[in-house]
Structure 1
């Protein structure tokens, strides 16, 4: 069985050494001396459990918790502090922490907490994998029932069952890493590691060390020898996100690794055999990059064995309601909010918006709405202004067609109601009493309608 991969983030060296000792048997431990270093590691590598101090320079434990959950929701986070308060504990658990340790702690108790966290992650991952094949509207963590996405699911399933290199293409925010994870967890390598690295997040001088490892003394600061991701993956999958950002020198070494199935650590001449599957991704047009001389043609063809193109969200608007419901459930659980769904007009606006940031922007929008919602349903007032703004004229036909009949009709009714309320308040210059009399409504009923539609009477009063 693979060792559990743990990141320990603490600005106290004695605490980092203590956890390394506690987790010496069966755990693969990396450490970070401050929040900024931990954030950089989380952005480029995968962990089963993150153990973090709450108070650290660079970024605190809550910032790290948020970053971990945004990137890898099933990675468990254990918070550690010497300044424990009930408020800290409640806040940590509400934001998704698995458990909470107060300094000083018993080493056996700390080991037990990390072991429970690792086992919980394993069970959640196994449950997701088992559930995915039976869900016609999803593939692993990808969600959508549109014809475009069903084609993607079929190709991902085929790619998973052959040990070929895969190139995932698509705009930023379309879910390229989710597609790569789906390939890995449906493949014969699923019991081994999935090792992601963002090729654009590391300086050129460090990316080769990250991928291929380095010998002791290979460069300034290389005090000890270090294996790279290709060695650490050991029979698993290496995911090269934003592969188009690789410098040409690293492209040469990557091409050789793909061709010869071996690598050389920086500063060493002895080759090391590797057994990994490569999945790469980019938002760039690599053919154009080849023509411009920024990407090697031979490497492009080695990566482009199976190409999977993820459609932008604007080209699958019929998936927006399903995705919105998925993200509502996810973030309502994470934030401990009891919400019953969306007001119909919200679904019309979501389906009609262009989503330049694709699925990632939609998820961020729903997470924000869940956090700020004042009622039991997400309303227009809970959306960012650019999403909540009504379209010019009637709702686009494709936006309405993306909705079930009842939601489309209810959305049209809500839109007309809002337009009526705007006209009414404009006529009476924000005077709710007179507006209610004209409308034949009780004042409180009119106030409820205004809240529902994100309107404030004071905005209509004369300056």
Structure 2
């Protein structure tokens, strides 16, 4: 899928640092603009709003805090990352509490900076891209919730009723039904829509890091905690936190989320200070929380606090009448994004789509439409093209079952060993090494291309190559 290049504005009076950022970020396929002062940066923002600003706290003339406040007045939803020296950390913390996305200390670690940049850009996109509810066929929206069936009408009604309130919302539904879009729609129609919206995936972040990511930490809270850092909950003050996959949140953190909802306060990791926090909680899960409660994996008191309002998203098989609307939307969207002419689709092909059970829901339908469109030669999409794409998907699933048996055999063998320490880490390193080798093979040894395939930054890929001792000539050698 074709993506527009994202623009990052660097505001720093250090020529060498600006040049370093330019080389680093252009290599990561970002468009980079630079300003040597706050005043110059503001003029550039007034002419064209970038996707992200990286701002030094110490600037000649208008200082970093004054510049940040002026940026916030121009576009409250524009994410700003503050750069600071150790001595001005408290100033950066105050900026973050008033709306800056995050802060990072100089000198910074490049992979860490790239990770924060990626998260900030994602957050900015979430806040500023509008989710349209059931647009008309002639309307074009990059992200929309499509459906006119009775179950979807109930979803729209629920969004309209709960959005103006501060009530906690629990969004439930199978994977691929669009829970994140519904969360963003609730946020966009709420009175908090000019404040931050920060998504946290409770599965994607390791348990050891999730607590500090959410609640922050004090200096000395653990080895490596060299300074205070505030968490996402404090950063979202006045706004909304979206806890995706909350059904998989560790029990140890569920009690802290319960306290946040009940007492509207938190404590940082390693701290004793009670910090008042005003955030709205929207949570989502595809798990059966009732079963999780009975199994002792989810707190019953948190469950009732979360489900003040529950929005149920129906699986696609229960709203088949929306499939023609969805395929029409995805054909139009992906044609525009890939600079292709929309070829249309035959009624027989639509009937085939409507008859399929769609275990992967709307996400699966979108993937099938995109694939068929890319390989289509310009004529209307016919039934055979849809059937072939669905059959290939089924064949790949069977292949994956056989491949998974090989992986499972390896895992069982490793688990049977009693002489190996750190078994989890060693197995993950084994699979990560294989994954990187295959990406390098696929890219012909091109590290930039391999990093794109893996969704990693180049510095991260380089560090992993060194960690696993992968020799480039070995990795690209034909087996």
TM-score bucket of the superposed structures, by smaller chain:
0.5 to 0.7
Report deviation, 1:318.
Answer: 0.5
Select which of 255, 271, 285 maps to 2:274.
271
| Cα distance per residue 1:410-449 (max 9 Å; x no partner) | xxxxxxxxxxxxxxxxxxxxxxxxxxxxxxxxxxxxxxxx
Return closer, same or farther for 1:182/1:6 CA change in 2, 3 Å cut-off.
farther
Confirm or deny: 8 A CA contact 1:234 1:275 kept in the other structure: yes
Q: 2:399 maps to which residue?
A: none
For residue 332 of structure 2, give the secondary structure of its aligned residue in structure 1. helix
- Distance of 1:218 and 1:13 partners within structure 2: 35
Q: Is residue 57 of structure 2 the alignment partner of residue 20 of structure 1? A: no
| Match among 327, 332, 356 for residue 329 of structure 1 | 332
- 2:166 maps to 163
Distance in 2 (alpha carbons) for counterparts of 1:176 and 1:137? 25
TM-score (norm 2): 0.58
Name the counterpart of 1:286.
289
Q: How many residues end up aligned between the 2 structures?
A: 310
SS at match of 1:168: strand
Hey, what's the Cα distance between the residues in 1 that align with 2:364 and 2:115? 21
User: Match of 2:433?
Assistant: none
Distance 2:169 2:150 in 1: 21
**In the alignment, is the contact (CA less than 8 A) between 1:239 and 1:280 conserved in 2?**
yes
Matches within 5 A, 1:208-357: 208-357=211-360
Q: Structure 1 residue 387: deviation in Å?
A: 2.3
Q: Does 1:47 align with 2:81?
A: no
Task: Tell me by how many angstroms 1:333 deviates.
Answer: 1.0
| Residue 471 (structure 2) aligns with | none
- Residue-by-residue CA offset, 1:175-227 (whole Å, 9 max, x unaligned): 11111111111111111111111001111111111111111232233333221
Counterpart CA distance in 2 for 1:272 and 1:6 is 33
Name the residue aligned to 1:397: none
Q: Which has the larger radius of gyration?
A: 1
Given the two structures, how large is their TM-score scaled by the length of structure 1?
A: 0.60
- Counterpart CA distance in 1 for 2:138 and 2:336 is 21
1:376 Cα deviation from its structure 2 partner? 3.7
Structure 2: runs of 5+ lacking an equivalent: 1-5, 11-17, 26-33, 35-52, 58-63, 72-78, 82-101, 393-479
Q: Is the 8 A contact 1:380 1:388 kept in 2?
A: no
* Cα shift at 1:155: 1.1
Does the CA-based 8 Å contact 1:338-1:376 persist in structure 2?
no
The alignment yields a C-alpha RMSD, in angstroms, of 3.7
